[in-house]
Amino acid sequence: MKTIIEPFRIKSVEPIKMNTRIERESVLKKAHHNLFLMNACDVIIDLLTDSGTGAMSSEQWAGIMRGDESYAGSISFQRFEKTIQNIMGFKNVIPTHQGRAAERILFSVMCKNGDVIPSNTHFDTTRANIEIQGAIAKDLVIKEGLDPQSKHPFKGNMDIDRLISTIENVGVDKIPLIMVTITNNSGGGQPVSLENIREISKIARKYKIPFYIDACRFAENAYFIKLREDEFKNSSIEFIVTEIFKCADGCTMSAKKDGIANIGGFLCTNDNEMAQKQKDLLILSEGFPTYGGLAGRDLEAIAIGLREAMDENYLEYRIISTQYLGEKISEAGVPIVQPPGGHAIYIDAKAMLPQIPPHEYPGQALICELYLESGIRSVEIGTVMFGSTDKETGKEILAPMELVRLAIPRRTYTQSHIDYVVESIINVYHRKNEITGLKMTYQAEHLRHFTAHFIENN
């Protein structure tokens, strides 16, 4: 069969409230042209993020009922710990309320002022948790990873030569760990090859530097390895996942991604001494080491979700559905970051809307237009998110790219929802010349994209 279907049927539904263009115009105005400031019930298809927005399975809901809420030593923790030890192979498993809590604990214990942490590309919470320790987050992705049009199969790979020269220049003493993010979220959700992970591991072992994986999308990454790395075309996802984690000394994880849970995360390490320090810190801020800020029921949902995320039929549907969206709009002429990543499609708003200069936020203008067209919520990843206003001159400091991200929640939307997204993007594309820029009228000092206000600039 050529048709690939959603490998699940729907037992429980959540109604979508439909609305009209007139209603959306008023919603957008009230939200000051910032899609973070509108109510979710005014959104028809929500592609803001794939984090915590997945649909749980009937097994996960059954796990929720089984959750053991004992403060210490719950059976749910034992299941959680054992599942992660089996999948990833690490000795110590520490639950946290989200991925960023795992990061904070890891870097608090391992980093000091002036240290350097190399990665392919650090995710923004990872970078922030490194920088707050006074350390430097260094991105060493291969050059193809920075070229939106390159179709390299593993654009998330780390540049091995630059890794070696960084270690030689900075000195081993100042590198407490090496990280790699799979898939590379901030680099367009692009995968990292097992060959590259093995090379990083070899260098880490040679220099005796611990190697940690930011594992948020480990299952999607493993599926890309199976598709694109010849050596693994006949391997099971479980085997590939084992091979990936065998290379590392530990990991951080947000269970809101490939844990297919609505909340949760964890930190793993093979180093018992480090684990003790991490648990001491966990007790201070997250909770006792057998729940770490989560309910027992969350631990159950995560343990089940991690296994479901590795199901090959699920992964095939997931990757193909994302690719389908990317290919359909790209065939119609919409410029996107190539090739489609695992969890999201990125539209190049600068290329699509050349009439809007970057300081008038082409990405923000495009997400507003898409919302007006069909009630889709996407997110700007450009100057609104990563730029800033120079305090002295009032000029905008621009981001390197002006992108719009369409992130696909796991198991939440069907093929016809995706067709609806395709049609509305193409409609907007056909009248792209009429779209005008925006002016920012309010911004906060930090993370301005969450609360900024805009007006139309015409």
Contact 314, 57 (CB under 8 A): no
Q: How far apart are CA 263 and CA 251, in angstroms?
A: 18
| Contact range with ligand PLP by CB under 6 A, out of 120-128, 203-211, 346-354, 382-390 | 120-128
Rule CB under 6 A: is residue 99 a binding residue for ligand PLP? yes
Instruction: Find the binder of ligand PLP among 95, 188, 265, 339 (CB under 6 A).
Output: 265
Instruction: Find the binder of ligand PLP among 216, 379, 385, 421 (CB under 6 A).
Output: 216
Instruction: Find the binder of ligand PLP among 256, 297, 448, 449 (CB under 6 A).
Output: 256
| Contact range with ligand PLP by CB under 6 A, out of 68-76, 118-126, 128-136, 434-442 | 118-126
How buried is 53 (Cβ within 10 angstroms: 0-12 exposed, 13-18 middle, 19+ buried)? middle
Rule CB under 6 A: is residue 189 a binding residue for ligand PLP? no
Closest contact distance (angstroms) between CB of 218 and ligand PLP is 10
Query: Which residues ranging from 34 to 63 are in contact with ligand PLP (CB under 6 A)?
Result: 51
Q: Going by DSSP bridges, is the β-strand pair 116-119/344-348 parallel, antiparallel, or unpaired?
A: unpaired
Its sign, for the CA torsion 51, 48, 182, 177, is: negative
Give the count of beta carbons closer than 10 Å to the beta carbon of residue 20: 9
Strand partners, 184: 190
| Contact range with ligand PLP by CB under 6 A, out of 93-101, 192-200, 301-309, 401-409 | 93-101
Rule CB under 6 A: is residue 387 a binding residue for ligand PLP? no
Strand partners, 396: 389
What type of residue sits at position 256? Answer: K
**Which stretches within 1-40 are classed as H helix?**
21-30
Closest contact distance (angstroms) between CB of 150 and ligand PLP is 21
With CB atoms as reference, the residue minimizing the distance to ligand PLP is 99
Rule CB under 6 A: is residue 250 a binding residue for ligand PLP? no
Of residues 94 and 353, the one with the C-beta less far from ligand PLP? 94
Instruction: Find the binder of ligand PLP among 32, 100, 377, 448 (CB under 6 A).
Output: 100
Closest contact distance (angstroms) between CB of 39 and ligand PLP is 22
Contact 63, 70 (CB under 8 A): no
What type of residue sits at position 420? Answer: Y
Its sign, for the CA torsion 298, 299, 300, 303, is: positive
Q: Going by DSSP bridges, is the β-strand pair 250-254/211-214 parallel, antiparallel, or unpaired?
A: parallel
| Contact range with ligand PLP by CB under 6 A, out of 83-91, 97-105, 300-308, 391-399 | 97-105
Q: What is the 3-state secondary structure (H, E, C) of 93-104?
A: EEEECCHHHHHH
Rule CB under 6 A: is residue 181 a binding residue for ligand PLP? yes
Site of interaction with ligand PLP (CB under 6 A): 51, 98-100, 123, 125-126, 181, 185, 214, 216, 254, 256-257, 265
